[in-house]
Amino acid sequence: NFYRSDTMAPNTTMATGVLHECDDEIQAQIIPPEVSKPSNRKLELVWRNIILFVYLHMVALYGLYIILTSAKLLTTFFAIFLYICGGLGITAGAHRLWAHRAYKAKWPLKVILTIFNTLAFENSVIEWSRDHRVHHKFSETDADPHNAKRGFFFSHVGWLLCRKHPEVKVKGKSIDMADLEEDPILAFQHKYYLALMPFACFIIPTFIPMYYWNETFVNSFSANIFRYVFTLNATWLVNSAAHIYGHKPYDRFINPAENVSVSVFALGEGWHNYHHTFPWDYKAAEFGKYSTNFSSMFIDFFAKIGWAYDLKTVSQDMIQKRVKRTGDGTHEIWGWGDKD
Ligand code: ST9
Ligand code: ZN
Ligand code: ZN
């Protein structure tokens, strides 16, 4: 089996996009054995992406220098603000609301999260969620787009610099995306992504500091690129570092781990052993709901005003049973000082 069905809550198949009934059919599809052999993986580099990412990282380094030396304070605060908004578009939006359906949102919150998500430029929610549902279902196999068994670099950014493994595309067909494709807000974002994204991620964030507080173009542009690249790396660390380093209090048989440093940068998404064990929990963590999980605080706020509802979580009983059955014995050390 390519996934552990006991990590799914009863009746939560949509939470991870798992389609159990299709599995046999998909697995029966013939993938030539030579393609499946790790030693025979073909690496087809995508030079457009390599050049773009090298360029972005160089400008981002310059942006950091600018922020530390000559940018106006407001420009720096604005970059931090955009990092939080864009980050929430990924964590509270693409990840928890859409890829996992861990809670439901009314349309105004959906619109806010879609704008935030476009600001983060990590592909449309539909594309992001398809890759992410495939990642959960076929974790650490060749069908996982950022298979961490291929090393830190591949799972961090390398997977975006080459063509996907054929198994991602074949097995990815078993993922039901109808729920997101039928959502008019997401369908709109997906259809017009190439027109919307440059405005949300680059043009408007560069224009605002120039117009409202007379920042120079070079400062404004490079500080924003730093913000974008920082958000990208915070996200990618969940796929790389949080799949390699950390304790496994919930399931010692999987690679994803509890990584506090990643959680800090990724607005609460580094509790990855918990998340892969209970992917439908809207907190994506058991502990540290507010201290290291700004995304949960955000969702709780919108739940209070009624824009977020039907928040899914996991009972203490279920967690305790799982900890006893498959944990690595480190669960005790994580709950201390939790004030939630
Ligand atoms: C970026 C995404 O950075 C980062 C995602 C990270 C996820 C992290 C998750 C961790 C948990 C959450 C933590 C959040 C923390 C946030 C903290 C914030 C502070 N299933 O893709 P193509 C088929 S993006 C089924 O082109 P290639 C399909 O038919 C950065 N089928 O494959 C598809 O056609 P269509 C900016 C699939 O040619 C066709 O194949 N964006 C699947 O191999 C072609 O698809 C970029 O840089 C699937 N999963 O190219 C763009 N996938 O779509 C980067 C594919 O029409 N991407 N198919 O249905 C690319 O350039 C290309 O995708 C490629 C592969 C070169 C990488
Ligand atoms: Zn993962
Ligand atoms: Zn997930």
The 10 Å Cβ neighbour count of residue 1 is: 6
The count of structural domains within the chain is 1
Report CA(34)–ligand 1 centroid distance (Å). 24
**DSSP symbols for 3-16:** S-GGGSPTT-HHHH
269 Cα: distance to centroid of ligand 3 (angstroms): 9
Helix axis angle, 125-137 to 184-191, nearest 10°: 100
DSSP string, 39-56: GG----B-HHHHHHHHHH
The ligand 1 atom nearest the CA atom of 121: 36
Please tell me the distance between residue 245's alpha carbon and the centre of ligand 2 in angstroms: 12
Q: Give yes or no for residue 234 CB within 6 A of ligand 1.
A: yes
| pLDDT, position 38 | 65
Structure-token pair, residue 143: 């069908």
Nearest CA to ligand 1 atom 42: 169
pLDDT given for residue 39 in this prediction: 59
Does the CA dihedral 279-180-163-27 come out positive or negative?
positive
- Of all atoms in ligand 1, which is nearest to the CA of residue 164? 43
Task: List CB contacts of 162: < 8 A, sequence separation 6 or more.
Answer: 43, 44, 45, 46
Tell me the CA–centroid distance for residue 62 and ligand 3, in Å.
Answer: 32
Tell me the helices (H) and strands (E) count for the chain, helix number first: 19, 2
Considering the domain boundaries, does residue 19 fall inside one?
no
198: CA distance to ligand 3 center in Å?
Answer: 26
**Residue 26 domain-assigned (yes or no):** no
- CA of 214 from ligand 1 middle (Å) equals 37
Determine the pLDDT at residue 8.
34
Does the beta carbon of 134 lie inside 6 Å of ligand 1? yes
Q: Atom 34, ligand 1: which residue's CA is nearest? A: 169
In a domain, residue 141? The reply is yes
pLDDT < 50 stretches in the chain: 1-33, 35, 339-340
CA nearest to 235, candidates 109, 17, 59, 83: 83
Determine the Cα–Cα distance for residues 130 and 51; give it in Å rounded to an integer: 25
Q: Does ligand 1 come within 6 angstroms of the Cβ of 239?
A: yes
What are the structure tokens assigned to 68, written together? 């530390």
How confident is the model at residue 289, as a pLDDT? 66
* 24: in domain: no
Could you tell me if the CB of 293 is within 6 A of ligand 1? no
Q: How far apart are CA 220 and CA 71, in angstroms?
A: 8
Residue 70 lies in a domain: yes
Assess contact for 233 and 57: CB atoms under 8 A: no
Q: Is residue 127 part of a domain?
A: yes
Please give the distance, rounded to the nearest whole angstrom, from the Cα atom of residue 61 to the centre of ligand 2: 27
User: Residues 264, 249: contact at Cβ < 8 Å?
Assistant: no
160 lines ligand 1 (CB under 6 A): yes
Contacts of 89 (CB under 8 A, 6+ apart): 113, 114, 115, 116, 117, 118, 119, 120
- Please identify, by atom number, the ligand 1 atom nearest to the C-alpha of residue 242: 10
Residue 164 is given by DSSP the state P
Q: Hunting for tokens 């030693």 — which residue is that?
A: 39
Please give the pLDDT value at position 105. Answer: 98
Instruction: Say what the ipTM of the complex is.
Output: 0.99
- Residue range of the domain that includes 104: 42-244
Q: In angstroms, rounded to a whole number, what is the distance separating the alpha carbons of residues 162 and 144? A: 14
Residue 3 resides in a domain: no
Residue 170 included in any domain: yes
